[in-house]
Amino acid sequence: MGMIKIFFHDNCFDGLASAAVFSNFYRNTVRYNCEFVYEGLAHRAGELFLDVQFNGDENAIVDFKYSSDSRLTWWFDHHQSAFLSPEDEAHFKADKSGQKFHDPTYRSCTKFIAEMLQKHFGFDSSRLADLIRWADIIDGAQFESAQSAVELRAPAMKLMLVIESIRNHGRSYSLIEEFQNRSLDEIIDIPWVQEAFRPLHERHLQSIDIIRRTAHYSDGTIFFDVSNHDLEGYNKFVPYYLYPEATYCVGVSLSSFRTKISVGSNPWSPHPRTQNLAALCERYGGGGHPVVGAISIVPEEIDKARRIAQEIVRELRSGFQH
């Protein structure tokens, strides 16, 4: 029967949606009678692919960095910081398979995959149009307002909260299949999804209060440090909901496997963004997109993370133009 193993950006709406669109293509175009195995990947300090097992008959990575492992047969990514080294980038550029794609001009990997599959393989992903549209809205921060991003009224936004917070891989990965077979309205009504959403929504409301109490704003940039709170995941638009005049936000959070420095920009800011945040994060071993980036550091080096965050805050504030 064979097995396709699909790696994707874990705890990310765009990551799971990317895996769903690619799976739908593979199942309907490449090999129907095939076992699909999913594995989420997370950004962390150190070697990202050290313990990744490319043990499928075919192996794909979507919405995550490139690997030069010879067993990787499919790859799609839209991040500016897609390559771990110049050697990896050279390896990608030398690839002749016609099955590896990169374009950082796309706001979401889901839409990028759908368009590449249409262009190069003639595959029509329109039956997943609503999923593709919402992945592009969410990953590209194309919400009408901070209120719509934070108040979570649409089913896709509620699913985003569940996806970003749930740590039960079996249930999380099952959404990749659900995305291919049900509407977003139907998926949010699945009993386990509702059961997961309710406490997460309450926690979301609490996180707004925590960020309100810990955030400091001046000269266009918000800074907050929630590493002393049990707040590994939070809605990244909350700071702009609280400080709509801000242009940038820098946040420090802590989990079991990393200290994370998040660096973002306000899509609704009255002041234009002048910094490439991916390039800024790359200086410290991180990366991302021009409008949003992150840096991962081992949990034990929280003080180092705080120093880096403060350096970034000072740079952003010093360059702010009123």
Higher pLDDT, 319 or 307: 307
Q: For position 215, what pLDDT does the model report?
A: 97
Query: Rounded distance, CA 227 to CA 98, Å?
Result: 43
Q: Above 70 in pLDDT, residue 125?
A: yes
Mean pLDDT over 115-142 rounds to 97
The CA angle 301-302-305, to the nearest 5 degrees, is 95
Architecture of the CATH domain 3-189: Alpha-Beta Complex (3.90)
Q: For position 43, what pLDDT does the model report?
A: 76
What pLDDT, in 10s, does the model give residues 261-296?
Answer: 999 999 999 999 999 999 999 999 999 989 999 999
Q: What confidence tier does 47 reach under pLDDT thresholds 50, 70, 90?
A: low
Using only the alpha carbons of the chain, give its radius of gyration.
19
Mean pLDDT over 125-129 rounds to 97
Within 10 angstroms of residue 39's Cβ, the number of other Cβ atoms is 18
Q: Above 70 in pLDDT, residue 46?
A: no
Q: Above 90 in pLDDT, residue 319?
A: no
Q: For position 49, what pLDDT does the model report?
A: 73
Query: Rounded distance, CA 102 to CA 67, Å?
Result: 13
137-146, 165-174, 186-195, 255-264 — most confident range = 186-195
Q: Above 80 in pLDDT, residue 231?
A: no
Query: Rounded distance, CA 171 to CA 77, Å?
Result: 24
Q: Given its phi and psi angles, is residue 11 left (phi above 0), alpha (psi -120 to 50 degrees) or beta? A: left
Which pTM does this prediction carry? Answer: 0.82
- CB under 8 Å to 174, separation ≥6 — which residues? none
Question: 176-203: buried (b, 16+ CB within 10 Å) or exposed (e) per residue?
Answer: bebbbeeebeebbebeebeebbeebeeb
Query: Rounded distance, CA 85 to CA 140, Å?
Result: 25
DSSP label of 72: -
Domain ranges of the chain: 3-189, 216-318
Query: Rounded distance, CA 231 to CA 234, Å?
Result: 7
DSSP string, 198-254: HHHHHHHHHHHHHHHHH-EEETTEEEEE-TTSS-S---TTHHHHH-TT-SEEEEEEE
The mean of the pLDDT values for the chain is: 94
Query: Rounded distance, CA 100 to CA 92, Å?
Result: 8
Architecture of the CATH domain 216-318: Roll (3.10)
Q: Which residues pair with 251 in a beta bridge?
A: 224, 262
Percent of the chain with pLDDT over 90: 85
Structure tokens at 116: 């590449």
Mean pLDDT over 133-155 rounds to 94
Strand duo 58-62 + 248-254: pairing:
unpaired
Q: Above 70 in pLDDT, residue 45?
A: no
